[in-house]
C-alpha cells in the first residue's frame, strides 16, 4: 500500500536533483512532478540522463544534492521502502532464461515475500495473457513476450507506480501497441507510469512529457504545451524536385530543419518574420504547393537539441 499522503494526487515530486559520475554531470537540477494515474513520457537520446534519473527516483542511486518524494517517501532516507513499493522495468531483460515464465514469476514473488504468492502469479499470468505460454523457458521467448513477462513481474506486488526504462526497445510494432494499450488500462486504474522512450509515436500517447538532454530537463508538459512553448513555424511543401529544394532551404539562415515526410518536406524555423522573408522567393516559384502546418513533437525536440548543442558549444569556448 502506498505511503502517499491521503488525498494527495502527487506521486513523484522532486527538485534540484544532481548526480555526478566522476567529471560527468549526468543529471543537472532535475525538477519533476508526476500525478496519480498519469503516463509521463521521459524522452531524450542515449546518455541524456534518463536512466540515472529513474534510478534516483526508485532508490537505486542516491542524488548528490536535491530533495523530493516518491509515493510520499523521501528519496534519500526511505530508499528501502520505495524499492518495495515501485515496479521498475530495466532496459535489459533481467530474468532467468533457464527458468519458465511461471518459475520466474514465482521466484520474484518469493523475493518480495508476498502473501498468497501462487494465486498472485496465476492471476498475473491470466491478466497479461501469459497462461498458455507459462511453461516456456524465458530464454526462448520473443522480444514482445519477454517484455510481457517483465511487466508481469513489475506488477506482482501491486505497485502504484511503474518506472519503465526503454521498455519497447527491440520489440515489434504490434507488441509495442499492445504494451501501450496495457499501460493506458493501468493508468485508468490509478496506477502512475513514468516511461522513457525514443519513439515519437509513443511520446504522443503519453499524458505528459519531459525532454532531457545533457542531463538537463529542457521542457515538460502536455504535447500541445511543449509544442506551443517553442513558437516554431513549419511549412509543408509538395510538388516538383523536392530534393533540390531541400538543399536550397538548408542554406537559408532562418531555416533550422528540413525533413522529408512521405511525398512532402517540412521546413521549420523559430523566427517567423525572417523565415517568411527567406522563403518568399522560393514560394513564388511554380510547380510546388506550400502550406503552413502545426509543428510536431519531432520538430520541437530537434529544435531543443540544436539549441542545447549551441549553448554547450558556446559554454565550452568561453
Residues in contact with 216: Cβ distance below 8 Å, sequence separation at least 6, in sequence order? 28, 29, 49, 308
Residue 300 and residue 246 share a domain: yes
Residue 188 and residue 60 share a domain: yes
Residue 174 and residue 105 share a domain: yes
In the block, cell 540544436 appears at: 306
Strand order in the sheet with 65-70: 24-35, 10-21, 65-70, 73-74
Output the DSSP codes for 60-107: SS--SEEEEEETTEETTT-HHHHHHHEEEE-SS--S-TTSBHHHHHHH
Rounded to the nearest 10°, the torsion over CA 243, 247, 253, 256 is: 50
Reported as a single tens digit per residue, the pLDDT across 251-309 is 999 999 999 988 999 999 999 999 999 999 999 999 999 999 999 898 898 888 888 76
Domain boundary among 163, 188, 221: 221
Domain boundary among 164, 195, 221: 221
Here the CATH number for the domain that contains residue 283 is: 3.30.70.250
Please count the structural domains in the chain.
2
The pTM of the full predicted model, rounded to 2 decimals, is 0.86
Question: Which structural domain, as residue segments, surrounds residue 179?
Answer: 10-221
Reported as a single tens digit per residue, the pLDDT across 147-194 is 889 999 998 888 999 999 988 877 788 888 888 999 999 999 999 999
Are the CB atoms for 54 and 194 separated by under 8 Å?
A: yes
Residue 138 and residue 261 share a domain: no
Residue 5 within a domain: no
Are the CB atoms for 94 and 16 separated by under 8 Å?
A: no
Amino acid at each position: 500500500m502506498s505511503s502517499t499522503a491521503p488525498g494527495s494526487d502527487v506521486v513523484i515530486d522532486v527538485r534540484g536533483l544532481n548526480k555526478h559520475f566522476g567529471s560527468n554531470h549526468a543529471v543537472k537540477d532535475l525538477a519533476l512532478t508526476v500525478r496519480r494515474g498519469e503516463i509521463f513520457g521521459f524522452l531524450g537520446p542515449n546518455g541524456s540522463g534518463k536512466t540515472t534519473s529513474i534510478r534516483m527516483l526508485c532508490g537505486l542511486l542516491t542524488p548528490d544534492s536535491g530533495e523530493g518524494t516518491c509515493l510520499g517517501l523521501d528519496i534519500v532516507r526511505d530508499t528501502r521502502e520505495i524499492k518495495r513499493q515501485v515496479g521498475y522495468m530495466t532496459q535489459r531483460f533481467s530474468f532467468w532464461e533457464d527458468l519458465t515464465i511461471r518459475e520466474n514469476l514465482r521466484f520474484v514473488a518469493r523475493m518480495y515475500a508476498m502473501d498468497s504468492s501462487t494465486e498472485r502469479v496465476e492471476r498475473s499470468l491470466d491478466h497479461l495473457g501469459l497462461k498458455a505460454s507459462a511453461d516456456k523457458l524465458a530464454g526462448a521467448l520473443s522480444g514482445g513476450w519477454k517484455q510481457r513477462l517483465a511487466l508481469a513481474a513489475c506488477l506482482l506486488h501491486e505497485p502504484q507506480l511503474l518506472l519503465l526504462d526503454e521498455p519497447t526497445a527491440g520489440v515489434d510494432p504490434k507488441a509495442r501497441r499492445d504494451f501501450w494499450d496495457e499501460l493506458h488500462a493501468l493508468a485508468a486504474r490509478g496506477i502512475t507510469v513514468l516511461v522513457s522512450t525514443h519513439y515519437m509515436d509513443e511520446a504522443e500517447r503519453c499524458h505528459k512529457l519531459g525532454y532531457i538532454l545533457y542531463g538537463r530537463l529542457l521542457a515538460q508538459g502536455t504535447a500541445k504545451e511543449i509544442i506551443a512553448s517553442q513558437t516554431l513555424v513549419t511549412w509543408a511543401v509538395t510538388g516538383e524536385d523536392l530534393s533540390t529544394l531541400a538543399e536550397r532551404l538548408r542554406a537559408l539562415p532562418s531555416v533550422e530543419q528540413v525533413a522529408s515526410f512521405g511525398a512532402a518536406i517540412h521546413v521549420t524555423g523559430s523566427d517567423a518574420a525572417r523565415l517568411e522573408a527567406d522563403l518568399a522567393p522560393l514560394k513564388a516559384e511554380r510547380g510546388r504547393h506550400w502550406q503552413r502546418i502545426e509543428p510536431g513533437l519531432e520538430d520541437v525536440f530537434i529544435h531543443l537539441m540544436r539549441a542545447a548543442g549551441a549553448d554547450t558549444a558556446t559554454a565550452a569556448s568561453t
